Amino acid sequence: MVAPDGAAAIPIEIFVVKIVSRCNLNCSYCYMYNLGDGTWRGQPKTMKREVYVALAQRVREHVLRHGHPAVCFILHGGEPLMAGRKTIADFVAAMTGALQDITRIEFRMQTNGTLLNAEWLDFLAAHNIGFGISLDGPPEVNDRFRRTHRDKGSSEAVERGIRLALAHPSPSLFGSVLCVVDPNTDPLATYRYFRSLGLRGADFLLPDATWDTPPAHIAGAAGPTPYADWLMPIFDAWFEEDDPKFRIRHFETIIERVLGGTRVIDSLGGGTNQIMVVETDGGLEPVDVLKVCGHGFTKLGLNVLTDQIDDLSEYQLSRIYVEGGEHLCGDCKSCPIVDVCGGGYLPHRYRSDNGFDNRSVYCADLMKLIRHIREKVRATIPAPILRQVQAASSA
């Protein structure tokens, strides 16, 4: 899909770098390996130096062109720790050497946590690489889907990594886990488990799905809003505890939008998502979760070895993702909560016969959850203050 002629260049500030294209876990719901896209098989296992050196130069050119005050590199995979300390250190050095004189640089990483040990934590602290860990709940929940290639659970290794990370002299590098919702489990047990670990936060993701490959409740295997019904008890417990030391980004974003704010996360549509993905071979792509839309769906034919980052702007798929709420179906445009949900996550709107011109497959869940949060928030804020907040946000 090619964008219209004359389309403005897309300024990118967050670079999700697939430093490796393999993983030591085999999570059944993983969009990289188990939801229909097999392009990883043709990717180099680890990003070569020539690729990330080229990336550093492309990002420098992009920053100079667009004047970004800061850029962020998120090391991703697969499992990024499989790249090894030497490669990651060289990657950080390449980015720092190319960019430190023109912009502020942040390094982050998403890991499954199973390989973390004292040496890794010292390394990450020394290179100022903050990280999140993927964990779906207590062992009986997490190990249903997050298993090794030998079909063993991963919880024991993940818990060990979390405890080491929280006890490290630089604990600020880590504090939050990323959890994929399973509506067939006890939500409050998962929430209490996360609190018991001493975490500073958690975030919750809806399972990756499209209208062609819908989640369980669309297929009739569960009730009409199982994901909202799972999340609402957690919201109530978290909201009533009112503990600023434990954050849930998804809920915080909904609260801010309910009050008229414009905070953006890509799992809720709307806003501008200044994110792109770099594959191990240097391929430039829009957000990687779009792989759930079909084999090779994210492949644009662009590469840091031969193309500029601005070349992403020439492809409609990139623009649809980055421009968020500008590409909504008619139902969403007229919906009373569109300013909050933004139409939902882009991959969740996809259907092969008409692309993204659809509501989210989780529309009913989003509607119920947002209305629940809205009523809860409004009930706790005195009416005069609520009017002031809403007036200020609309000014």
| 195 or 215, greater pLDDT | 195
Mean per-residue pLDDT over the chain, rounded: 92
State phi, psi for 130 to the nearest 5 degrees: -75, 155
Residue 178 in this model has a pLDDT that exceeds 80: yes
Cα-based distances in Å from 147 to 79, 139, 243, 289, 394:
13, 11, 32, 20, 47
Residue 216 in this model has a pLDDT that exceeds 90: no
pLDDT above 70 coverage of the chain, percent? 93
Residue 221: band (very low, low, confident or very high) from pLDDT cuts 50, 70, 90: very low
State the chain's maximal CA–CA distance in angstroms: 60
In a domain, 335, yes or no: no
- The number of helices, as runs of H, and strands, as runs of E, in the chain is 13, 9
Following DSSP, what letter does each residue of 116-148 receive, concatenated? Answer: --HHHHHHHHHTTEEEEEE--SSHHHHHHH-BB
Following DSSP, what letter does each residue of 238-270 receive, concatenated? Answer: HHHHT-TTSB-HHHHHHHHHHTT-----TTS-S
pLDDT at 219: 54
pLDDT at 190: 98
In a domain, 360, yes or no: no
* Residues 6+ positions from 284 with CB-CB distance below 8 Å: 276, 277, 278, 300, 302, 303, 304, 307, 309, 311, 312
pLDDT at 63: 97
Instruction: Report whether 292 contacts 36 (CB < 8 A).
Output: yes
What's this model's pTM, rounded to 2 decimal places?
0.93
> How many domains does one find in the chain?
1
The per-residue pLDDT for range 380-394, each reduced to its tens digit, is 877 666 666 566 555
Read off the DSSP letter of residue 211.
S
Q: Residue ranges of the alpha helices (H) in 168-308?
A: 187-196, 226-241, 249-258
In a domain, 255, yes or no: no
Rounded-to-integer distance, Cα 104 and Cα 122, Å = 23
As a dihedral over the C-alpha atoms of residue 46, residue 49, residue 50, residue 52, rounded to 10 degrees, the angle is 80
In a domain, 314, yes or no: yes
The per-residue pLDDT for range 328-339, each reduced to its tens digit, is 999 999 999 999
Rounded-to-integer distance, Cα 225 and Cα 236, Å = 17
The per-residue pLDDT for range 307-326, each reduced to its tens digit, is 999 999 999 999 998 887 77
The per-residue pLDDT for range 14-68, each reduced to its tens digit, is 999 999 999 999 999 999 999 989 999 999 999 999 999 999 999 999 999 999 9
pLDDT at 387: 66
Residue 224 in this model has a pLDDT that exceeds 90: no
The CATH number of the domain holding residue 279 is: 3.20.20.70
In a domain, 81, yes or no: yes
pLDDT above 90 coverage of the chain, percent? 82
pLDDT at 381: 78
Following DSSP, what letter does each residue of 326-346 receive, concatenated? Answer: GS--HHHHT-TTHHHHTTS-G
Number of neighbours of residue 354 by Cβ within 10 angstroms: 11
Residue 220 in this model has a pLDDT that exceeds 60: no
Mean pLDDT of 212-229: 77
When mean pLDDT is compared across 132-136, 152-156, 187-191, 254-258, the lowest value belongs to 254-258
In a domain, 29, yes or no: yes
Residue 8: band (very low, low, confident or very high) from pLDDT cuts 50, 70, 90: confident
Q: Which domain holds residue 73?
A: 10-143+267-327
pLDDT at 394: 56
The per-residue pLDDT for range 115-154, each reduced to its tens digit, is 999 999 999 999 999 999 999 999 999 999 999 999 999 9
Instruction: Report whether 37 contacts 288 (CB < 8 A).
Output: no
In a domain, 177, yes or no: no
In a domain, 60, yes or no: yes
In which residue are the tokens 């840091």 written?
304
State phi, psi for 12 to the nearest 5 degrees: -105, 135
Q: What is the CA radius of gyration of the chain?
A: 21
Among 215, 340, 345, 217, residue whose Cα is nearest residue 290? 345
Among 134, 137, 350, residue whose Cα is nearest residue 230? 137
Rounded-to-integer distance, Cα 23 and Cα 149, Å = 9
pLDDT at 273: 85
User: Helix, strand or coil for residue 223?
Assistant: coil
Mean pLDDT of 91-105: 98
Instruction: Report whether 105 contacts 56 (CB < 8 A).
Output: no
